[in-house]
């Protein structure tokens, strides 16, 4: 039996992360089909760039960074596309087992908008993305302690905002809540990079 090469090991480890990539992509896009496309693009990019991965470092964080960067790149290009007609969206909604889940998520989305951008991003990576603090720190380029502090402050503030109902109504459809959470992050990033 032939010994596994470094490329074989990388391939096997990468394939093992596909469900995690899909879940993270789903948390970013809020749409199963878009998430699958995003995960597939990121998987192809990870394979193409496998020579830049440093063995012994955190493959999951490296792959999640690729997914995240691909998402933001796609979002920057998507400003040229036509927005979905709200009436069409309302007619295509699918009921869930919890009829108010969409409304609750939209409340969270609106409350998240009240958080500072750095806290919001950290909370989304940890809470929605399922990353460890170490992985989120690597992606954000911050210390683990900083990420823990941001997440803690964000959770406390978000709970208070939701308890008090201290968030504004807007014209966004509740069904677009998840996609809007991440679109807001992209907008803030674009403004920060432009400055």
- Residue 177's domain comprises 94-195
Residue 116, pLDDT score = 87
Residue finishing a domain among 22, 56, 79 = 79
Digit-coded pLDDT (tens) for 118-154: 888 888 877 766 678 887 787 778 899 999 999 999 9
Among candidate residues 51, 79, 107, the one where a domain is terminated: 79
Under a CB-based contact definition with an 8 Å cutoff, are residues 177 and 108 in contact? yes
Are the C-beta atoms of 158 and 112 separated by less than 8 Å? yes
> Which pLDDT score, from 0 to 100, does residue 187 have?
47
End-to-end CA distance of the chain: 57
Domain assignment present for residue 178? The answer is yes
Up-side HSE of residue 31: CA atoms within 13 Å toward CB?
A: 14
Residue 30 parent element (H or E): none
- CATH code: domain of residue 169: 1.10.10.10
Spatial separation of the C-alpha atoms in residues 139 and 67, rounded to whole Å: 11
**Is residue 63 within 8 Å of 21, Cβ to Cβ?**
yes
72-114 pLDDT tens trace: 887 766 544 445 555 555 544 554 566 677 778 778 878 888 8
pTM for this predicted structure: 0.46
Mean pLDDT of 46-55: 89
pLDDT for residue 193: 44
């Amino acid at each position: 039996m032939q010994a596994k090469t470094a490329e074989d090991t990388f391939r096997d480890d990468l394939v093992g992360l596909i469900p995690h990539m899909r879940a993270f992509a789903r948390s970013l896009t809020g749409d199963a089909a878009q998430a699958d496309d995003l995960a597939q693009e990121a998987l192809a990019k990870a394979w193409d760039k496998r020579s830049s991965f440093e063995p012994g470092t955190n493959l999951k964080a490296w792959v999640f960074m690729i997914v995240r960067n691909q998402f933001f790149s796609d979002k920057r290009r998507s400003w040229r596309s036509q927005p979905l007609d709200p009436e069409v969206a309302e007619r295509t909604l699918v009921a869930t087992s919890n009829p108010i889940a969409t409304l609750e998520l939209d409340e969270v989305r609106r409350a998240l908008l009240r958080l500072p951008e750095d806290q919001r991003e950290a909370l989304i990576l940890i809470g929605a993305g399922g990353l460890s603090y170490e992985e989120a720190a690597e992606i954000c380029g911050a210390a683990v302690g900083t990420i823990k502090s941001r997440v803690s402050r964000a959770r406390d503030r978000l709970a208070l905002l939701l308890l008090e109902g201290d968030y504004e109504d807007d014209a966004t459809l509740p069904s677009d809540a998840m996609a809007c959470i991440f679109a807001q992050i992209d907008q803030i990033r674009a403004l920060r990079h432009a400055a």
